[in-house]
């Protein structure tokens, strides 16, 4: 008999398709392309058109490079993928799951690299399959259509989230995703508890993102203001208490130390929430500080610091809508 090809081996020969051409998605596409891996970027029309016409421009400490990266608005290309990286905003996950359902092949690993803790379980439920969940500690910013800046960080922690029937993702699929990202220069660590990693990143984001957005301040400047540091500590205490009530093994000192390291290693970076507000776009505050509010309410835990930041970002969004109605 002629041996039949292993579906996961053939998946390794297919391109990486990145759904979501924002800062993180564009940077991932650039790094994969630089490593010589086949990649396709799926995004909105303005970003895709800019990349198609002038390439994807990447700025980092080493200089500037313009890359030829295939880009399209057609999510149907995921049917050609050996690995799909989902990098859309958390508020778009439901729609993404709907659009992925038909074209996504059963043997293609799907890795969510999104802010928040609810995306991977939602994808597993909607798609009726196990997925990968990742926490990306990567600072990137879109400086215009087709232009992305890498401001620091290459760490990704990821692990498998079972499907609704308890179906597990094959180990070879997990390692396929890890190997491709490692080949692109990322430090990828596997975790048996990905939700714990996502809660850890959520607590860090709660302390950094909204404050950066409200003041349009980089992390390094935030760290020089004692009152801001006190506020960040209050936010982290609430987030850690809520995460622990949710069954996640977070340690207060670990998160506080991580917040300090963000200010040191990404001192010139503004948060993704700051970038969203600066562009008049809807932010992910509902899936960051808002997640802490909802989980806190479930457990009877007060979260006033997170509530204040959430409310102020919502006010900024309301004023943008008022000043620039659709």
Mean per-residue pLDDT, 187-193: 96
Phi, psi of 4 (to 5 degrees): -85, 140
Burial of 99 (0-12, 13-18, 19+ CB in 10 A): middle
pLDDT at 93: 97
Residue 165 has pLDDT above 90, yes or no: no
Residue 159 has pLDDT above 90, yes or no: yes
pLDDT at 167: 81
Residue 76 has pLDDT above 50, yes or no: yes
Confidence band, pLDDT 50/70/90 cuts, at residue 187: very high
Confidence band, pLDDT 50/70/90 cuts, at residue 4: very low
Q: Which of 75, 161, 174 is nearest to 124 (CA)?
A: 161
Q: Which of 6, 3, 15, 171 is nearest to 85 (CA)?
A: 15
- The full length of the chain comes to 326
Residue 8 has pLDDT above 70, yes or no: no
115 token code pair: 């802010």
pLDDT at 324: 64
pLDDT at 59: 96
Residue 238 has pLDDT above 60, yes or no: yes
In this predicted structure, which of 5-14, 44-53, 83-92, 165-174 has the lowest mean pLDDT?
5-14
In this predicted structure, which of 39-53, 156-170, 210-224 has the lowest mean pLDDT?
156-170
User: What percent of the chain has pLDDT above 90?
Assistant: 89
pLDDT at 110: 97
Q: Which domains does the chain have, with CATH numbers?
A: 7-192 (3.40.50.720), 196-321 (1.10.1040.10)
Q: Could you tell me the end-to-end alpha-carbon distance of the chain, in angstroms, rounded to an integer?
A: 63
CB atoms inside a 10 Å sphere around CB 294: 13
More confident: 322 or 235: 235
Cα–Cα distance, 311 to 313 (Å, whole number): 6
pLDDT at 321: 78
Cα–Cα distance, 31 to 185 (Å, whole number): 7
Residue 6 has pLDDT above 90, yes or no: no
pLDDT at 323: 72
Mean per-residue pLDDT, 238-244: 98
| pTM of the predicted model as reported, rounded to 2 decimal places | 0.92
The answer for residues whose C-beta is within 8 angstroms of residue 281's C-beta and 6 or more apart is: none
Annotated catalytic residues are 201
Cα–Cα distance, 257 to 94 (Å, whole number): 34
Mean per-residue pLDDT, 52-74: 96
pLDDT at 3: 44
Q: Which of 271, 260, 172, 294 is nearest to 213 (CA)?
A: 271
Mean per-residue pLDDT, 279-306: 97
Confidence band, pLDDT 50/70/90 cuts, at residue 46: very high
pLDDT at 322: 74
CB atoms inside a 10 Å sphere around CB 225: 14
Characterise 306 by phi-psi region: left (phi > 0), alpha (psi -120 to 50), beta (else).
alpha
Residue 326 has pLDDT above 60, yes or no: no
Mean per-residue pLDDT, 132-152: 94
Residue 5 has pLDDT above 70, yes or no: no
pLDDT digits (tens, 9 = 90+) for 191-230: 999 999 999 999 999 999 999 999 999 999 999 999 999 9
pLDDT digits (tens, 9 = 90+) for 104-141: 998 899 999 999 999 999 999 999 999 999 999 999 99
pLDDT at 320: 85
């Amino acid at each position: 008999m002629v041996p039949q090809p292993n579906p996961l081996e053939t998946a390794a020969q297919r391109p990486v398709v990145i759904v979501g051409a924002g800062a993180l998605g564009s940077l991932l596409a650039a790094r994969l392309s630089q490593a010589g891996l086949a990649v396709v970027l799926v995004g909105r029309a303005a970003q895709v058109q800019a990349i198609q016409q002038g390439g994807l421009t990447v700025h980092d400490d080493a200089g500037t490079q313009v890359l030829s990266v295939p880009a399209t608005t057609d999510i149907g290309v995921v049917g050609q993928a050996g690995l799909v990286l989902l990098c859309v905003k958390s508020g778009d996950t439901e729609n993404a799951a709907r659009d992925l359902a038909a074209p996504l092949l059963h043997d293609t690993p799907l890795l969510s690299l999104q802010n928040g803790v609810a995306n991977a379980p939602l994808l597993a439920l909607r798609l009726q399959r196990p997925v990968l969940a990742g926490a990306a500690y990567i600072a990137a910013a879109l400086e215009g259509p087709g232009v992305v800046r890498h401001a620091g960080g290459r760490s990704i922690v990821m692990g498998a989230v079972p499907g609704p029937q308890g179906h597990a993702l094959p180990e070879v699929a997990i390692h396929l995703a890890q190997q491709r990202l490692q080949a692109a220069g990322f430090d990828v660590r596997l975790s048996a508890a990905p939700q714990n990693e996502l809660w850890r990143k959520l607590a860090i984001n709660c302390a950094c993102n909204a404050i950066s957005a409200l003041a349009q301040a980089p992390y390094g400047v935030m760290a020089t203001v004692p009152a801001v540091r006190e506020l960040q500590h209050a936010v982290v205490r609430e987030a850690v208490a809520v995460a622990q009530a949710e069954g996640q093994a977070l340690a207060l000192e670990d998160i506080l130390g991580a917040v300090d390291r963000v200010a040191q290693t990404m001192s010139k970076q503004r948060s993704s929430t700051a970038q969203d507000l600066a562009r008049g776009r809807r932010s992910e505050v509902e899936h960051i500080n808002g997640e802490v509010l909802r989980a806190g309410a479930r457990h009877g835990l007060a979260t006033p610091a997170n509530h204040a930041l959430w409310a102020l970002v919502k006010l900024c969004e309301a004023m943008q809508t008022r000043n620039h109605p659709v």
